[in-house]
Amino acid sequence: MEKYDVIIVGTGPAGMGAAFSLLDLKKDISILMIDKAPVSTGGMRNDCKMNFTYPIGFPFEYWDEATANRYLEKVKAFLKPDILPKSNIGIYQMRAEKLGCSLLEIQQTHLGTDGGLRLIQKLMTELQEKGVTISLREEMLSINNEQKFITTDMREIGYKTILIAPGRHGFHFLQDVMHQLDVGYMDNILDVGIRVETRIEHYPIVKDYYDPKFYFPEKVRTFCTNSGNAHVVKEKYVTERGDIWYSVNGHAYAADAARNNGLVNFAILKTVRFTQPLASGQEFAEHLGVMAALMGGGKPLMQRVGDFRLGKRSKVATFNNDLYDFEPSLKDCCPSDISLAMPSKILRYIWSGMKKLDTIIPGILHPSTIMYYPEIKLYANKPEYKDDRFQVVPSVFFAGDGAGTSRGITGAWASGIRASEGMAEYL
Ligand SMILES: Cc1cc2nc3c(=O)[nH]c(=O)nc-3n(C[C@H](O)[C@H](O)[C@H](O)COP(=O)(O)OP(=O)(O)OC[C@H]3O[C@@H](n4cnc5c(N)ncnc54)[C@H](O)[C@@H]3O)c2cc1C
């Protein structure tokens, strides 16, 4: 059996952050990175908008401000971001505060989906040049930590220490691993909401602040704003039972005036935290997703704000009629009535957030604005960690979004560095 000092599962930002950090911390160690995809599949590959201000992307359970800032400095020093300029923030903040809302001022950079891919390719080449072995299209299936090897769809591989960083899509896989290792976990929080798409002139703040983070009462917030050459996309999920559902999402390509489609999209999400007796946020999310897919003939749903306000469903004609002045960027979506599919409490809070947003930046409730449903962000598992380096059992570490230690590219990278310090100590 082939053996490495370190195996890293997942080549997303958590895996990469750990790999680069280990190369600094320990000389002459053998590192293998595997990924089931041909290129890492998370946010670095999609939009690659990076936030460098606490608490964005850093779950409070694992990060206080001082710790996060210490690691953020390391992430910054490595990635050397070009922070985007902002203007008129004070005015928006004042308007928001009058309504009991807030606008966070975040240091951001945006590479776009194309720029993100170039970054991944550059980083992967750098890792290989530094001696890291990378195996793509190889999927980890199980772990045997007594005998220190994993089984993939190709072979068995031995390790001294391992980092498992499979991202949000690796949710079920990580739960399987935790069962194999007898690690306890919780999964009781999720974000549910819609993606809003409109013309840039109806949400002009994006000219002043690329991804404005508004916080509304009742745990509602705006999230992941994209503009310029911006598109709404759908992500496929499969439940344990094999049911297929989709969450919408959004991304934009790197700034290029010649290719702008004049649209902006962003999520507006409500955080839901469950207590007894419902333990699994994931299962709740799946039920919502499957319900929407049922109503949409296997597709996510979309509705114009004009129809929503009149209490009418949107129809195919609603998306062609010249009364409405732009076509949806996500074509493979079902015109519908989102209020039939969405829990009323969540919808009520989100609509209240949208009305406040329309007061702060008039325009967002233009009748042509499209609301896509569902957009669901799983908060991932909260494993029982043995230490503050995200070790779950001796020699096995988790990091990144799938393991609940981050909620974004920079947080994932930081959590990879933090885990790597524990791994270096273990070695
Ligand atoms: C469409 C989209 C857009 C996003 N946009 C942004 C953004 O602009 N900014 C931002 O900060 N965040 C964004 N995010 C969130 C971002 O993706 C995550 O915060 C970040 O990528 C998490 O990093 P990670 O390393 O934990 O996981 P990931 O980046 O998801 O990487 C995990 C990797 O593990 C691999 N993997 C999973 N299971 C296995 C297995 N069993 N065996 C082998 N390999 C496996 C996957 O193929 C994947 O490449 C976006 C997410 C999505 C889905």
pLDDT at 324: 65
Q: Would strands 220-228 and 213-216 be described as parallel, antiparallel, or unpaired?
A: antiparallel
Give residues with Cβ within 8 angstroms of 319, minimum separation 6: 302, 304, 327, 328, 335
pLDDT at 278: 67
The protein residue whose alpha carbon is closest to atom 27 in ligand 1 is 167
**CA dist 416 to 67, 230, 349, 390, 403, Å?**
14, 30, 35, 9, 11
Secondary structure of residue 284 in the 3-state scheme? helix
Domain 2-83+107-186+381-426 homologous superfamily, CATH: FAD/NAD(P)-binding domain (3.50.50.60)
Q: Please, what is the average pLDDT of the chain?
A: 93
Q: How far is the CA of 32 from the centre of ligand 1 (A)?
A: 19
Do 400 and 165 meet the contact criterion of CB atoms below 8 Å apart?
A: yes
pLDDT 10s digits, 254-298: 777 678 899 999 999 999 988 877 668 888 999 999 999 999 999
| Candidate from 259-263, 318-322, 337-341 with smallest mean pLDDT | 318-322
Q: How far is the CA of 354 from the centre of ligand 1 (A)?
A: 28
- The pLDDT confidence band at residue 5, using thresholds 50, 70 and 90, is very high
354 vs 324, residue with greater confidence: 354
Closest C-alpha among 247, 218, 222 to residue 354: 222
Q: What is the mean pLDDT of residues 330-339?
A: 95
Calpha distance 179→140 (Å, rounded):
15
Q: What is the mean pLDDT of residues 62-68?
A: 96
The protein residue whose alpha carbon is closest to atom 49 in ligand 1 is 40
Calpha distance 347→333 (Å, rounded):
19
Which of 36, 135, 162, 418 has the most ligand 1 atoms within 8 A of CB, as the residue to mutate?
36
Please calculate the CA angle 226-288-331 and round it to the nearest 5 degrees: 45
pLDDT at 281: 84
Q: How far is the CA of 188 from the centre of ligand 1 (A)?
A: 20
Pocket of ligand 1 (CB under 6 A): 9-15, 34-37, 40-44, 46-51, 57, 139-140, 165-167, 170, 173, 235, 249, 251, 400-402, 406-409, 412
Q: Which amino acid is at 49?
A: K
pLDDT 10s digits, 172-221: 899 999 999 999 988 878 899 999 999 999 999 999 999 999 999 989 99
Q: What is the mean pLDDT of residues 51-77?
A: 94
Q: What is the mean pLDDT of residues 386-392?
A: 97
Q: What is the mean pLDDT of residues 300-312?
A: 95
- The pLDDT confidence band at residue 421, using thresholds 50, 70 and 90, is very high
Residue 253 has pLDDT above 60, yes or no: yes
pLDDT 10s digits, 369-385: 999 999 998 767 789 99
Which of 20, 21, 35, 151 has the most ligand 1 atoms within 8 A of CB, as the residue to mutate?
35
**CA dist 165 to 34, 168, 247, 417, Å?**
10, 9, 21, 12
Q: Record the tokens describing residue 189, joined without a space.
A: 């929080």
What long-range pairs does 240-243 form, CB within 8 A, spacing at least 24?
A: 240/172, 243/286, 243/290, 243/293
Domain ranges of the chain: 2-83+107-186+381-426, 189-377
Write down the pTM of the prediction: 0.88
pLDDT at 415: 98
Give residues with Cβ within 8 angstroms of 275, minimum separation 6: 188
Residue 20 has pLDDT above 90, yes or no: yes
Residue 321 has pLDDT above 60, yes or no: no
Q: What is the mean pLDDT of residues 95-105?
A: 95
pLDDT at 257: 66
Q: How far is the CA of 165 from the centre of ligand 1 (A)?
A: 9
Calpha distance 240→243 (Å, rounded):
8
